[in-house]
Amino acid sequence: MRKYYLDNLRWITVVIVVIYHVLYMYNAEGVLGGLGKITDLSVQYYDIYQYLVYPWFMPVLFLVSGISARLSLDSHSDKEFIKARTLKLLVPSTIGLFVFQFIQGYVSMSLGGGFEGLLAAQVPKPVIYLIMVASGSGVLWYMHLLWIYCVVLVLIRKIEKGRLLKAGAKTPLWLTGLFVFPIWGASQVLNTPIVSVYRFAFYFVFFILGYYVFSNDEVIERLKKIAVPLMAAAIVLCVIFSFTYFGENFADKPINRGFLYSLDAYVGSVAMLSAMARFGDVSNKFTRWMSGHSFGLYVFHYLGISSVALFVARPKLLPAPGCYILSLVAGFVFGYGLYALISRIPFFRWAVLGIKKKKEQ
């Protein structure tokens, strides 16, 4: 039986990511990225949304990915699993950069003023193109890490031969609370400099916990019983984290390696999982459509947001509120529109979306 709450949790989280990136694009507090501040406000208090959601929304996606890996491996061989994940994750995040996502690189470099120095130095155009390709990764970092995790998972399965999965099914509630400590420990290692989103160990723990622990129905049933207090605890932690660090760079060290960050990330992600398992295991025409298009929304939304920032907000063609609204609309229009278009074009649907055959809409 399909676990609809996982589908719903995935698309809801992607929508949260889209809203986050709109605020991130014009952020004036904490993480300076994108275009930056476009208002005359002395303090953009609404930027606190970023602090409320950032620690846990990507852990949620890796947790769900771990559970999904379990469901896939229950009915497919290791070879079939890796082949499918390579098509869906590795091809779009590598080949897709050269055939489409370099456009995101162009927009991002234009926002950051990256072309001026290159042109002044008379860098050859083929080299500039390669720099655009490298700059076009954007949100695809998630797919890079997830593909690596899937390969490592297959190797781990060959070693442990199902023993860890059986042990995971017996995990009591008190033990799930202690998982925050290995998460905190993992947050201290294998973090890439400069590009802070590549946190190999930190997100890997969430993925592995999803596969070995939270993919078990027995564990989910236990969590469903405490979904409400878990959500309450998560809200309290999000508020504490936000007010503690508002105005500081929450996405890099030392904050993202602190215990409060790890606690917020873990409790927030597990609370979302338990709440959706208890209240969100439903399916209707709307949820099925949102679920079926969430991948496209994730892959393409940032291009819409950043394009509005470059061509509308930077030349100040609209007042700040209009730029925010147009960016949000563009995130969804580009996300759904480009997915609908590219999924119908031979070769591009394979290279950019990992679709071998034309996807029926």
pLDDT band for 29, please (50, 70, 90 cuts).
confident
Per-residue model confidence (pLDDT) at position 34: 85
Per-residue model confidence (pLDDT) at position 179: 97
**pLDDT tens track for 232-257:** 999 999 999 999 999 999 999 999 99
Per-residue model confidence (pLDDT) at position 45: 94
Per-residue model confidence (pLDDT) at position 358: 53
Per-residue model confidence (pLDDT) at position 1: 74
In the chain, % of residues over pLDDT 70? 99
Mean pLDDT of the chain: 94
**pLDDT tens track for 57-102:** 999 999 999 999 999 999 999 999 999 999 999 999 999 999 999 9
Task: Return the closest-CA partner of residue 20 out of 45, 54, 44.
Answer: 54
Per-residue model confidence (pLDDT) at position 359: 47
**pLDDT tens track for 129-178:** 999 999 899 899 999 999 999 999 999 999 999 899 999 999 999 999 99
pLDDT band for 194, please (50, 70, 90 cuts).
confident
Lowest mean pLDDT among 1-5, 203-207, 334-338: 1-5
Considering only residues 227 and 1, tell me which one the structure prediction assigns the higher pLDDT: 227
For residue 294, pLDDT over 60 is answered with: yes
Per-residue model confidence (pLDDT) at position 360: 45
pLDDT band for 117, please (50, 70, 90 cuts).
confident
For residue 121, pLDDT over 90 is answered with: no
